Amino acid sequence: MPRRNGGSKAGSAAADGAELDHPVLQMLAAVIDTFRGRGVEVLLYVTPTNVEHQERVGIDTRGGIAVTVAT
């Protein structure tokens, strides 16, 4: 998928842990491809989260992220 405005893609440091063959990413890619194939501009925005800070203050990010990705 092309990127604009310096965005990140899966596999970069910003997406560590997100494997390109993960079913959620595969579904997202298919949805984006469908819209783009029909001429619809797609903007994907991912809210940045400072996981390291959350872990330092005692928030269990690993468990929550696993549940989110699994669903």
The residues spanned by each domain of the chain are 13-70
Percent of the chain with pLDDT over 90: 21
Q: pLDDT tens-digit profile of 24-57?
A: 888 989 999 999 999 999 998 878 778 788 888 8
| pLDDT at residue 32, as a whole number | 93
Tokens describing residue 48: 């940045």
| pLDDT at residue 54, as a whole number | 82
